[in-house]
A and B are shown apart, each in its own frame.
Chain A
Amino acid sequence: MHPTDFTLAGAAEALHEGLISSVELTQAHLDAIAALNPRLNAFLAVTAEAALREAAASDARRKRGDARPLEGLPIANKDLFCTEGVATTAASRILAGFIPPYESTVTAQLRRDGAVFLGKLNCDEFAMGSSNTTSAFGPVENPWRRGNDPDARLVPGGSSGGSAAAVAARLALAATATDTGGSIRQPAAFCGIAGIKPTYGRCSRFGIVAFASSLDQAGPVARTVEDCAVLLRSMAGFDPKDSTSADVPVPDFARACGRGVKGLRIGVPREYRLDGTPPEIAALWEQGLQWLRAEGAETVEISLPHTKYALPTYYIVAPAEASSNLARYDGVRFGLRETVAGSDLRDLYERTRAAGFGAEVKRRILIGTYVLSAGYYDAYYLQAQKIRALIKRDFDEAFGRVDAIVTPATPSAAFGMDEKQDDPVTMYLNDVFTVTANLAGLPGLAVPAGLDHQGLPLGLQVIGRAFDEETVFAVGGAIERAANFRALPAIRAGVG
Chain B
Amino acid sequence: MSLDTATVRRIAALARIRLEAAEVERMQTELNDILGWIEQLQAVDTAGVEPMAGAGAVALRMREDVVTDGGVAPRVLANAPDREGEYFGVPKVVE
Contact = CB atoms under 8 A, between A and B. Distances in A.
A98 interface: yes
Interface string B66-86: 000000100110111110000
A316 B41 contact: yes
A17 interface: no
Nearest to B60: A243
A309 B44 contact: yes
A385 interface: yes
Mostly, the A contact residues are: helix
Nearest to A98: B79
A243 B59 CA distance: 10
Given A369-B11, A424-B30, A389 B60 contact: no
A425 B63 CA distance: 42
A246 interface: yes
Contact of B44 (A347, A351, A382, A383): A383
B15 A348 contact: no
Interface stretch (A30-38, A52-60, A181-189, A435-443): A435-443
A388 B56 CA distance: 13
Contacts of B90: 332, 345, 348
In which size bucket is the chain A interface?
A: 35 or more
Contacts of B18: 347, 350-351, 353-354
B55 A354 contact: no
A101 B27 CA distance: 36
B57 A345 contact: no
Nearest to B3: A370
Contacts of A339: 91
Interface string B28-41: 00110111011011
Interface in A54-89: none
B56 A246 contact: yes
Contacts of B76: 101, 333
A349 B12 CA distance: 12
Contact of A441 (B56, B82, B92): B56
A351 B80 CA distance: 17
Contact of B15 (A247, A369, A438): A369
A348 B17 contact: no
In which size bucket is the chain B interface?
A: 35 or more
A440 B81 contact: no
B35 A367 contact: yes
Interface stretch (A40-48, A127-135, A358-366, A397-405): A358-366
A357 B23 CA distance: 14
B30 to A, nearest CB: 6
B54 A315 contact: no
Interface string A293-335: 0000000000000100100110110000001000100111111
Contact of A333 (B35, B79, B92): B79
Interface in A406-455: 423-425, 438-441
Given A439-B55, A441-B56, A315 B78 contact: no
A386 B27 contact: no
A346 B60 CA distance: 35
A306 B44 contact: yes
Contacts of A350: 13, 16-18
Interface in A371-395: 373, 379-380, 382-390, 392
Contact of A357 (B7, B17, B31, B38): B17
A112 to B, nearest CB: 20
Nearest to B88: A332
Contact of B53 (A214, A357, A373, A423): A214
Contact of B41 (A312, A333, A367): A312
A71 B27 CA distance: 49
Nearest to B38: A312
6 contacts: A97-B79, A240-B63, A312-B37, A315-B38, A383-B46, A390-B49
Interface of A: 97-99, 101-102, 200-201, 213-215, 240, 243-244, 246-247, 306, 309, 312-313, 315-316, 323, 327, 330-337, 339, 343-351, 353-354, 357, 362-363, 365-367, 369-370, 373, 379-380, 382-390, 392, 423-425, 438-441
